[in-house]
Amino acid sequence: MALKITDECINCDVCEPECPNEAIYQGEDIYVIDPQKCTECVGHYEEPQCQQVCPVDCIPLDPEHMETEEELEKKYLRLTGGG
């Protein structure tokens, strides 16, 4: 599943540059994750990099965008031109 940024976001700007898929962008009030681009860093890293750098721990899994590891890998390949 994709990740999401909750209202606890303090707009510290550290997550956006860490996303290898450029799925994170500044929304109206807080940063937002595009679920069509988020692979939870599958294909790039062992763990989601945005979660690793977030100082307020406001990036949980998004239950509205459920995906298996296989689906995330396919999305990674599609986004990177590998499949």
Residue 53 lies in a domain: yes
Whole-structure pTM value? 0.92
For the chain, state the CA radius of gyration.
12
47: containing domain:
16-80
Q: pLDDT tens across 25-77, in order?
A: 999 999 999 999 999 999 999 999 999 999 999 999 999 999 999 999 999 99
Q: What is the domain count for the chain?
A: 1
Q: Assess contact for 20 and 12: CB atoms under 8 A.
A: no
Please check whether residue 3 lies inside any domain of the structure.
Answer: no
User: What does the alpha-carbon distance between residue 17 and residue 37 come to, in Å, rounded to a whole number?
Assistant: 14
Asked whether 2 and 68 are in contact (CB, 8 A), the reply is no
What CATH number is given to the structural domain containing 60?
Answer: 3.30.70.20
Q: What token pair was written down for 56? A: 């307020």
Rounded to an integer, what distance in angstroms lies between the CA atom of residue 28 and that of residue 74? 30
